[in-house]
Structure 1
């Protein structure tokens, strides 16, 4: 493995559990422990524990903290009450995506921005340049990524497993996209606990100091053993989020895609009352109408649509697959793809070019999966 890759505080524990390690976003991460399908189905039916300590965390504080966040994000962070979390995006001036992020409001003038691992340095530089250009001097920025570890406990039994260990919080009273501070879990003082999820299931994100991650990881796995809790890798995390049509940077969103064509218009508030980077371009796109859309496809012929495979209509290439795999929940071969708006209606037949062969597929409704357990 490349020695330049970063490792999370749980690296040795992943090796001990027999994880297969792969490079991801500049990190050496576990892709699976048993099998992707087993881990995927365990999260759908019981619970899985993920090490996502590679994610980046920036703290934004001070009198102009909200001004900076409003400038660099598409959603309206002014609507956040203390203790709430918001999905948002950062865009370039042309409207394409810098990254998708979570905005945590921790206090009156204190926020966290949680960013994708592979984009941490790029995002940090982007936000700092934006601050300087806007002359926002009464705001403090701190990159806390290296000092924070993040464990994600996901699945319908997550609350049942976590509550006996958690002091200072009634998890049943935590609504989706809320956070709590000052919570102790199994003797570990957490920094933040939130309830967002990136699997299509209910679940919790537990942010702790890096040095506390190992003790919490072991305790959670032991506490959840009777409920069927398994350690899970990035392989299952990808198939889980994909079934729920949750975007992944570098696939559904990138500097080549805008939030509107990705179906993320709900997080773009053009009328939030303040200007933000990319607003003018996005407003123009909305007025003119989109040229392409992200759609779900289901294979009719036998074959798996993989990222980068061309999508054709009548022999003419019109689009490209962004993510595709066998769905462990639906037991079908499915994918997400960008196609011209004219071919985006449910039921439209297309072809996916797999190893030079055009194989039949159809556009279907998304998300592919909606959890019967989710709050």
Structure 2
């Protein structure tokens, strides 16, 4: 991420805090133009609490962890998005907050326990994923610690509250703000986190090539290979000896296909470590060797060049993400290399492709278009 074009200012109303906190945000992160009520509720309610060692799940761009670093013994922010984790680091540093930031989707691998967990699920988080994060976070508590969940009806409050009532030792509502409620839950000594999310394997066939792809809820088109990616794979030409990049790889369909149909070097990259974890499993399940990187855009592979870049870009993520993405692809594409992308027919990506030498429409489907571009 080269730019964070949006800035938000939060003024404190309590003693011992900084008078003003400034947060950089960008396209591709949730609530980029305004603070979330759920996160502000956590900040307000927990400022005077005895937090000890604090874990902030789904930290987004770092509001909760950055502010509460001023009253906690230690803060650890965890994000599954590489772009969001970068913003957490930047915002913590610029506000003088001493906090650790980890890019990870599974807090159970952290080699530590916590006195307090603060979690504000994002509205688009599937309930099963949110519940899994909730119980996994509860398991990270030291006995006597507290998990605080801030949610609204829109983000699944009732179902999260029911989940906590089933598994926690105690649950109570401790605060409210603008339609959000704050729940406080404690850990039972005999607690064993239940499983709400399990990987599943789908078995699509493309051009006669069978794939085994591992997915989980919350990933794009987790139940089946989406029509756009299928059209891209049915159209793309992949040659032996090429170095191929599956960018914005999701659970790895494009990379797995490339490695099955050609004797090529395969790389896959995605911003989301949940996606890249599944992509690694998809390669193994499809018996393909490849390298998987978790990074924002091409940041993790900018030192390499590729003969072919294949991409179903996240067109919903905003102009800033797409602008940086296509500029980055141009920088890693070999001089005689090609970019092949798929997008919905109603979208116009010509401005993003203006730096490329030639742009050709390769195929038009019912809802999607496949384009090829040269460096």
Q: TM-score, normalised by structure 1?
A: 0.29
Structure number with higher relative contact order (C-alpha < 8 Å, ≥ 6 residues apart): 1
CA radius of gyration, larger in: 2
